[in-house]
Amino acid sequence: MDFFSSLQELHAGLLKREATASELADLSLQRIASLDDRVHAFLHVSADCVAAAKETETVIGQERILDGIPYALKDNMCTRGIETTCASHILKGYIPPYSATVAERLNDAGAVLMGKLNMDEFAMGSSTENSGFFPTRNPWNLERVPGGSSGGAAAAVAAGMVPFALGSDTGGSIRQPAAFCGVVGLKPSYGLVSRFGLVAFASSLDQIGPLTHTVEDAAIVLQAIAGKDERDSTSANIQAPDYRAALTGDVRGLRIGIASEYFGPSVEIGVRNAVTKAIALLEQLGATVSPISLPHTEYALSAYYLIAPAEASSNLARYDGVRYGVRAVDAGNLLDMYEKTRSTGFGSEVKRRILIGTYALSSGYYDDYYKRAQQVRTLIRQDFLDAFESVDVIVSPTAPTTAFRLGEKVHDPLTMYLSDICTIPVNLAGLPAISVPCGVIDGLPVGLQMIGRMFDEQTLLRVAHAYEQAAGMAPLRPALAMGVKA
Ligand code: GLN
């Protein structure tokens, strides 16, 4: 057993007593110790994880598949008693008095928290280079970024340090790093998974979801975290269906839509070829493929970079040095204290977003920017609704390129923003989408994105699973993770 085994295999191993839960936690610690000085996926490793694992050992039962399974959380999900920083200096030392609903649900399911994962500061970025502490590196090639903002989560799973992790996705932050690191990443429908205890970036777009090695594992983790939560007013009143039961392997008659807008000139040839091959395989499996159009796609990035910063500028107003984390010590008065705390506590990308958002919301500009962006958002959502009249799932690349080099885009925010061109429209529409590996070019993985109807995770997972099985794709194992003792 290692952390490239499926969750079902790990569970079976625990039931058969081939290993105990504390041995699995120990294995995870050893993997972190031997790899993370190069990958830098973790911000914090939990001191009492082995003891916590031991507690689950008496209760492991047939039905409780996550009992004793190690996992880790992106550091924007609150964990009671454990520092939660969002990879920002401004939250250094912040120890939440409560846990996010997702952390509680995984804890109730018996999963064992190994630690907290690196990310772009406040989830703003596509490479994890905007972390206030240090960048994470891609286990496939340490000179490359793991993607972002859930780069720590994708890298930790890809390197086999934990069998699964939770990330968050506001404009692609689960799917794009999953694609860059060769793992599965699922962004659920907006409202399916509670955001309670997720530090808010853009509240109308943020959603938590799993990063795993297989689609079945994603279904298992989703099952544990999905469903109504009274503490999140945007949580949908939905009883999560049995997601694993949807994985029939059968896609005959399923209608797949291909939108030319997602295959523009920014899509690298290698990515285009891998995705085209994957679509051909789905057709061989009995799905029908037809062209569709999502005509407002070209406006998605502009709308997102008004809506997300606007919401962020409002959400981040609370970091004033009074209530959370760090406070500037050398301030002469209250205003000076606010100013010093915020100017030293936030990194440059976060400041850029706060400035853009404050400007877009200011009186006189509100109608020109924020309101128009919301109107564009409605058009984008309508494009998808129209497309889903004739198809069941839309397939595209997850990102236009494979993992880029550290430093390549970090000084050019607009180029960085373009990494999310295929994922951002999906958040604006609130839809579920998954990225699954569909090949490796020049030693770097490629991601295939599938987009589903609102709350139709079942169909999405069914297609993704059928593809993964037929392509013989999962799990991918980077060279770094081979030949490592433990
Ligand atoms: N890269 C996008 C941004 O910087 C999306 C981030 C995310 O999904 N959290 O806003």
pLDDT number for residue 77: 98
pLDDT number for residue 346: 97
Active site residue 277: no
Active site residue 173: yes
- 47 pLDDT tier (thresholds 50, 70, 90): confident
433 Cβ below 6 A of ligand 1: no
User: Is the pLDDT reported for residue 149 higher than 60?
Assistant: yes
- 484 pLDDT tier (thresholds 50, 70, 90): low
> Given the CA of residue 124, which atom of ligand 1 is nearest to it?
4
Rounded to the nearest angstrom, the distance between the alpha carbon of 170 and the centre of ligand 1 is 5
% residues pLDDT > 70 (the chain) = 99
% residues pLDDT > 90 (the chain) = 90
Looking at every residue in the chain, the average pLDDT score rounds to 95
- For residue range 201-232, list pLDDT tens digits in order: 999 999 999 999 999 999 999 999 999 999 99
Q: How many CA atoms lie within 13 A of 377 on its CB side?
A: 21
Q: Which of 173, 201, 423 to mutate to test the pocket of ligand 1 (most atoms within 8 A of CB)?
A: 173
Q: What are phi and psi of 186, to 5 degrees?
A: -115, 125
427 Cβ below 6 A of ligand 1: no
- 115 pLDDT tier (thresholds 50, 70, 90): very high
174 Cβ below 6 A of ligand 1: no
Active-site residue (options: 149, 150, 396, 435)? 149
123 Cβ below 6 A of ligand 1: yes
Active-site residue (options: 22, 28, 74, 435)? 74
> Given the CA of residue 201, which atom of ligand 1 is nearest to it?
9
> Given the CA of residue 126, which atom of ligand 1 is nearest to it?
1
Helix (H, G, I), strand (E, B) or coil at 162: coil
> Given the CA of residue 416, which atom of ligand 1 is nearest to it?
1
Rounded to the nearest angstrom, the distance between the alpha carbon of 185 and the centre of ligand 1 is 15
Rounded to the nearest angstrom, the distance between the alpha carbon of 174 and the centre of ligand 1 is 9
Rounded to the nearest angstrom, the distance between the alpha carbon of 302 and the centre of ligand 1 is 13
Residue given tokens 């790899």 in the structure block = 35
172 Cβ below 6 A of ligand 1: yes
User: Is the pLDDT reported for residue 445 higher than 90?
Assistant: yes
- For the full predicted model, state whether its pTM sits above 0.95: yes
- 323 pLDDT tier (thresholds 50, 70, 90): confident
Find the mean pLDDT for residues 12-33.
Answer: 95
Cβ count near 375 (within 10 Å): 10
Taking each helix axis from N to C end, the angle separating 372-387 and 300-315, rounded to the nearest 10 degrees, works out to 130
- 55 pLDDT tier (thresholds 50, 70, 90): confident
Rounded to the nearest angstrom, the distance between the alpha carbon of 162 and the centre of ligand 1 is 24
pLDDT number for residue 419: 86
209 Cβ below 6 A of ligand 1: no
DSSP string computed for 96-132: -SS--HHHHHHHHTT-EEEEEE--SGGG--SSSTT-S
Active site residue 74: yes
308 Cβ below 6 A of ligand 1: yes
User: Is the pLDDT reported for residue 474 higher than 80?
Assistant: no
185 Cβ below 6 A of ligand 1: no
Give the contacts of 415 (CB within 8 A, at least 6 positions apart). 409
User: Is the pLDDT reported for residue 485 higher than 70?
Assistant: no
Rounded to the nearest angstrom, the distance between the alpha carbon of 125 and the centre of ligand 1 is 5
Q: Are 205 and 190 in contact (CB under 8 A)?
A: yes
- 483 pLDDT tier (thresholds 50, 70, 90): low
Find the mean pLDDT for residues 432-450.
Answer: 98
Strands 444-451 vs 433-441: parallel, antiparallel or unpaired: antiparallel
Find the mean pLDDT for residues 23-27.
Answer: 96
pLDDT number for residue 363: 85
DSSP state of 370: I
Rounded to the nearest angstrom, the distance between the alpha carbon of 305 and the centre of ligand 1 is 10
Helix (H, G, I), strand (E, B) or coil at 291: strand
Q: Are 197 and 153 in contact (CB under 8 A)?
A: no
Q: What is the architecture, at CATH level 2, of domain 7-258+386-482? A: Alpha-Beta Complex (3.90)
pLDDT number for residue 124: 98
- For residue range 388-438, list pLDDT tens digits in order: 999 999 999 999 999 999 999 999 988 889 889 999 999 999 999 999 999
User: Is the pLDDT reported for residue 486 higher than 60?
Assistant: no
- For residue range 167-181, list pLDDT tens digits in order: 999 999 999 999 999
486 versus 345: the higher-pLDDT residue is 345
166 Cβ below 6 A of ligand 1: no
Task: Take atom 5 of ligand 1 and give the residue whose Cα is closest.
Answer: 171
CA distance to 107, 114, 269, 276, per residue, from 70 (Å):
11, 6, 38, 36
